[in-house]
Amino acid sequence: MRLSAAHLAKPVLHGYFRSSCSWRVRIAFALKGVEFDQVPVNLIKDGGQQRTEQYRTINPMQQVPAVEIDGITLSQSLAVIQYIDETRPGPRLLPADPKKRAQRMISDLIASGIQPLPPLSDHPQVGAEKVQWAQHFIDRGFRALEPVLRETSGMYCVGDEISMADICLVPQVYNAERFSVDLEKYPTIKRLNQTLLEVEAFRASHPSHQPDTPEELRA
């Protein structure tokens, strides 16, 4: 089968080094062994570069990530990961077994139930209790997630193969650590995160190693 020029071109990720959603996409590309280019979108500088009219033409929601791939532009990290999984060879990111694949609920729990709330603490309207705000919502989510992972996990979140659930978990734990959430209360989450951070795809995609990472945050 002949591949189109669009398919042969490198994907382009518009993202931010510390964005959980951008990190998920970086992990997925790394797990699949897909080379890609990055265009930094600084969410803080100049009032937020995602709010420019230029970026609105790429992602009308003015959020990161946005991924240009195969002649189309995708946003929403889970949709991007699913597309990468369905169009690129390499390890499956959504398990073949229907019951294991149904544990995508773990990804949704993180991406819809936890992750959107703590970033609001960066908004000035939230006031002085920003850390407490973030801790409250991460703790609430982790209390729900911990017993689920006790049931589903093996070496990784769903059995012994890395999946979308793992791709979502690690960036969320990074956020928890940023806001000083006590991970000792969540031993399964802590164990899985430590195991996953030994995997090269998770290490290479870490926020401390990106082109737009500030010098003082580089590892």
Say how far apart CA 38 and CA 36 lie, in whole Å. 7
Class of 98-203 in CATH: mainly alpha
pLDDT at 203: 97
Superfamily, domain 12-90: Glutaredoxin (3.40.30.10)
**pTM of structure:** 0.91
Say how far apart CA 137 and CA 56 lie, in whole Å. 29
Q: In Å, how far from its chain's centre is CA 212?
A: 16
Per-residue pLDDT of the chain (219 residues; tens, 9 = 90+): 445 555 668 999 999 999 999 999 999 999 999 999 999 999 988 888 999 999 999 999 999 999 999 999 999 999 999 999 999 999 999 998 999 999 999 999 999 989 766 454 444 444 457 788 889 899 999 999 999 999 999 999 999 999 999 999 999 999 999 989 999 999 999 999 999 999 999 999 999 999 999 999 997
From first CA to last CA, the distance across the chain in angstroms is: 43
Q: Residues of CATH 3.40.30.10 domain(s) within the chain?
A: 12-90
119, 120, 32, 40: which is closest to 80 by C-alpha? 32
